[in-house]
Structure 1
Amino acid sequence: MLTTLFAAADPATFSWSPKCAMIMITCNGIAYAIARANIQKPNDGFEIPNSKFYGGLSHASVVGANCLGHIFGIGAILGLASRGVL
């Protein structure tokens, strides 16, 4: 009984393609914009090399923005795959 419920909840699988990479890059860009607009002290902490490429964000802010972007990206990729777009 329980195994049939788990089998029914199996998400649609897909293979990696450049479309997936572009979706993940776009979601990370959106997350950087959200982080830059909402973090109160984006420059506190360790400075990363070439921080101008990351909007002047500190190391912790960049890691946080990447985490948020990957969460957005996973949701977008899985959602588009379940709809059959990818």
Structure 2
Amino acid sequence: MFTSTLLAAATTPLQWSPTVGLIIILANIVAIVIGKSTIKYPNAEPRLPSVNFLGNFGLPALLASTAFGHILGVGVVLGLHNLGRI
């Protein structure tokens, strides 16, 4: 029953475009800024090679914030697609 409800709510497929990529990049930047101010130990081991470029993040903080950024970006892309803006 859940599958039929899910299929009924499906929209037209979304093709990748540079706009989608830009939205995901911006969402990741926002997530890194949020992560920088909220993660308790942002520079936990293992360290990354270019710490100044990545906000002095360790690998766990970078993976966590970019994973959040992708979730945030996908939500924005799907929302804009559902509204017909993309």
Same fold (TM over 0.5): yes
What residue number does 2:8 align with?
A: 8
Structure 2 unaligned residues grouped into runs of 5+: none
1:28-84 alpha-carbon deviations (Å, 9 max, x no partner): 000000000001111121101111111000000000011000000110000001111
Higher relative contact order (CA 8 A, sep 6+): 1
CA-based RMSD: 1.4
What residue number does 2:35 align with?
A: 35
Query: Number of residues paired by the alignment?
Result: 85
Fraction of identical pairs, as percent: 31
1:1-50 alpha-carbon deviations (Å, 9 max, x no partner): x4653331213422111100110000000000000000111112110111
More helix by share: 1
Question: Could you state the TM-score of these two structures normalised by the residue count of structure 1?
Answer: 0.90
What residue number does 1:18 align with?
A: 18
Question: Could you state the TM-score of these two structures normalised by the residue count of structure 2?
Answer: 0.90
What residue number does 2:58 align with?
A: 58
Name segments (4+ residues, structure 1) moved above 3 Å: none
